[in-house]
Amino acid sequence: MLNQNRSNQLFERAQNFIPGGVNSPVRAFRAVGGKPLFMQKAKGAYLYDEDGNRYIDMINSWGPMILGHAHEGVQQAIARALPDSLSFGAPTAREVEMAELIISMVPSIEKVRMVNSGTEATMSAIRLARGFTGRDKIIKLEGCYHGHGDSFLIAAGSGALTMGTPDSPGVTRGTALDTLIAPYNNLQAIEQLVSENKGAIAALILEPVAGNMGCIAPQPGYLQGLRSLCDREGIVLIFDEVMTGFRLAKGGAQERFGVQADLTTLGKIIGGGMPVGAYGGRRDIMDFVSPSGPVYQAGTLSGNPIAMAAGMAMLSYLNEQTDFYQQLDAIANRIVSDLKEVLQQLGLRYTINQVGSMYSLFFTEQNVIDYDTAKTSDTERFGRYFRHMLEQGVYLAPSQYETLFVSAALGEQELQQLKTASYESLKALNRA
């Protein structure tokens, strides 16, 4: 058994003063059972908890640590920026460089606005789409996560594709009514929604590769189909690339799949580990943002100099490396082929989905293409697998419905440990 005495003590204290003991729900480990581990430090591929246990990190702060932890370039950029003060609330040269860099990496972005989180980016993007089109409704896909803005916390009402019900108390019915829900990877369902709400839909927002119901790829032609539908109907197509941006390619999923969005939301990697988000896209739409246009959006700490220093260092590194993404994908390919080999050795037929450096092992034998098929997974079994993996020194995402994030810091030794840990963990499950 892992020694997690100090983590447990901290969790006890935290629960007195922080709701559920954590500042973001999934960290509490409720989906997998057991108590959360409190992290003390990290370097490269490894996390160290408060009890001194070491883990291979397969979450990497939910994506940002794509180069592994405490990457020297990023750390040094922050150290260099530090003496010049932490914030001005006035424009800086770094913000201009950052905007130019983002635009050079993501072809569909002609103008960009910096914010402080992915949630802020998506909330701002739909307000902008509404202001630009003069329409109220948005379409969101089942199982896609776009942060905790009210409009996105909506699940499908049973069979009622045209009327969402709030997913969380505190989200008003009025808000829910403006969010229409359709299943992922189903073009026909969206065509139907659009024809039933002719001229009323401002935006269609989706994760171009889903990562928040486990990893799910868009089926061939799906993104292209959405693109032409949005063109035909004057709907703003928003790719939420908070997770996929700068991960699946320099230009994100849209580069990888060859489909351009009207607006793109970014987060996670863009801050190199600091709290940063951004939204950007077509010039005519972005010019609707205040102060050049009427749609209000602001932020006291937006474009923060330290955050920009970290983000710039991260993005420049990704931009300048040749073959970075081929190498990262090769690491992920190796992990997935090892895992497939392990499954085969144990006679298991679970589903593995992978797109580039994102992948998921689903505890189901069905193809996972949308929320309904993802839900066929045996989450209790996943929970036990998760805890076995922890015991073996591997820190997975504490939920079946989260993708794993491969970092460039994983080397041969880590890959071998990962394979052995998977084998032992899945074997132990099978025996039980």
Ligand X SMILES: *Cc1c(COP(=O)(O)O)cnc(C)c1O
Could you give the residue numbers annotated as active site?
Answer: 145, 240, 268
CB nearer ligand X, residue 21 or residue 118: 118
Residue 61 binds ligand X (CB under 6 A): no
Residue type at 127? R
Strand 404-405 relative to strand 179-182: parallel, antiparallel, unpaired? unpaired
**430 three-state secondary structure:** helix
Residue 140 binds ligand X (CB under 6 A): no
Residue 256 binds ligand X (CB under 6 A): no
CB nearer ligand X, residue 269 or residue 343: 269
Contact 305, 86 (CB under 8 A): yes
For residue 96, what is the enclosing H or E element? helix 93-105
CB nearer ligand X, residue 332 or residue 343: 332
CB nearer ligand X, residue 118 or residue 398: 118
Q: Contacting ligand X (CB under 6 A), which of 4, 185, 212, 373?
A: 212
Residue 119 binds ligand X (CB under 6 A): yes
Q: Which of these ranges, 2-10, 32-40, 205-213, 324-332, lies near ligand X under the rule CB under 6 A?
A: 205-213
Q: Calculate the dihedral angle through the C-alpha atoms of 18, 21, 24, 25, rounding to the nearest 10 degrees.
A: -130
> Starting at the edge strand that comes first in sequence, how are the strands of the sheet with 358-362 ordered?
351-355, 358-362, 404-405
Residue 402 binds ligand X (CB under 6 A): no
Give the DSSP per-residue string, 297-332. ---TTTT-HHHHHHHHHHHHHHHHSTTHHHHHHHHH
Least distance (Å) between residue 120 CB and ligand X: 7
CA distance 74 to 58: 20
Give Rg (Cα) of the chain. 21
Q: Which of these ranges, 98-106, 237-245, 278-286, 330-338, lies near ligand X under the rule CB under 6 A?
A: 237-245
Residue 207 binds ligand X (CB under 6 A): yes
Residue 201 binds ligand X (CB under 6 A): no
Q: Contacting ligand X (CB under 6 A), which of 69, 130, 137, 146?
A: 146
Least distance (Å) between residue 243 CB and ligand X: 4
Taking CA 247 as the corner, what is the angle to CA 286 and CA 98, rounded to the nearest 5 degrees? Answer: 45
Report the candidate in 329, 356, 97 with the shortest Cα–Cα distance to residue 209.
Answer: 356
Neighbours of 83 (CB within 10 A): 6
Residue 240 binds ligand X (CB under 6 A): yes
**127 three-state secondary structure:** helix
Give the DSSP per-residue string, 321-364. STTHHHHHHHHHHHHHHHHHHHHHHTT---EEEEETTEEEEESS
Q: Contacting ligand X (CB under 6 A), which of 139, 194, 242, 408?
A: 242
Q: Which of these ranges, 48-56, 174-182, 240-248, 328-336, lies near ligand X under the rule CB under 6 A?
A: 240-248
Q: Which of these ranges, 111-119, 220-228, 255-263, 368-376, lies near ligand X under the rule CB under 6 A?
A: 111-119
# residues near ligand X by CB under 6 A? 15
Q: Contacting ligand X (CB under 6 A), which of 61, 122, 254, 422?
A: 122
Residue 117 binds ligand X (CB under 6 A): yes
CB nearer ligand X, residue 131 or residue 147: 147
Q: How many CA atoms lie within 13 A of 62 on its CB side?
A: 20
Q: Contacting ligand X (CB under 6 A), which of 147, 218, 273, 383?
A: 147
CB nearer ligand X, residue 183 or residue 211: 211
Site residues for ligand X per CB under 6 A: 117-119, 122, 145-147, 207, 211-212, 240, 242-243, 267, 277
